[in-house]
Amino acid sequence: MKRAVIFCSASYSIDPKYNDAAREAVRALHRSGWTVVSGGTVKGTMGVIADESAAVGGTHIGIVPRFMSEVLHPGLSEVVWTETMSERKRKMREGADVAIALPGGIGTLDEVIETLVLSKLNRFHGHIVALDVDGFYEPFKALLDHYVATGMLDEASRALISFPATVGEMMEEIS
């Protein structure tokens, strides 16, 4: 089974449009037979996508640090416990054919940047996409382009991440 790791917000204070897009993405992934891997807690978008997987009967694996056990999502297909956040990031990526960043905060940014760096160094071999819901990722895109313009980042590495604007576009890119 193809495996998609999803990085996303742990916040309860975001615009509902981001969680609507997250539900749509997870439904589309399961419909196409993907296993979803996430941070596996009930918090924010993470909880929303685990709920959605359970509702549609999709396989959803949560990678959860032991110190977050009290916020473990109860509907996961499988739980993988880790001791640290670093180990969690490594295990989330393990075997992933695609890494998907949904709109998120600094935790999501950390996860996607680490994945991008590993991809640049040929240590991660999947696709990397950031779902650009309503232009959410425009500032991040602009930062990457600024890095290219100033020689801090080469074009080939910049091209390792794409920014589909819709779930349909994202599914086309990763299939």
Q: Does residue number 41 form part of the binding site for ligand AMP (CB under 6 A)? A: yes
**Collapsing DSSP states into helix, strand and coil, what is residue 35?**
strand
Closest CA to 131 of 28, 10, 11: 28
Q: Does residue number 100 form part of the binding site for ligand AMP (CB under 6 A)? A: no
Q: Does residue number 8 form part of the binding site for ligand AMP (CB under 6 A)? A: yes
Distance CA 69, CA 96 (A): 24
Q: Does residue number 136 form part of the binding site for ligand AMP (CB under 6 A)? A: no
Q: Does residue number 107 form part of the binding site for ligand AMP (CB under 6 A)? A: yes
- Measured CA to CA in angstroms, residue 8 lies from 23, 28, 111, 154 at distances of 12, 16, 9, 26
Q: Which is nearer to ligand AMP, 36 or 46 (CB)?
A: 46
**Contacting residue, 111, 118, 119, 144, with ligand AMP by CB under 6 A:** 111
Cα first-last separation, the chain: 13
The interface with ligand AMP within residues 45-84 (CB under 6 A) comprises 46, 68
Q: Which is nearer to ligand AMP, 28 or 85 (CB)?
A: 85
What letter represents residue 106's amino acid? I
Cβ of residue 23: shortest distance to ligand AMP, in angstroms?
16
Cβ of residue 109: shortest distance to ligand AMP, in angstroms?
7
Q: Does residue number 33 form part of the binding site for ligand AMP (CB under 6 A)? A: no
- Element at 147 (helix H, strand E): helix 138-149
Q: Which is nearer to ligand AMP, 7 or 163 (CB)?
A: 7
In b/e form, how buried is each residue of 111-121, taking b as 16+ CB within 10 angstroms? bbebbbebbbe
Contact set with ligand AMP (CB under 6 A): 7-11, 39, 41, 43-44, 46, 68, 104-108, 111
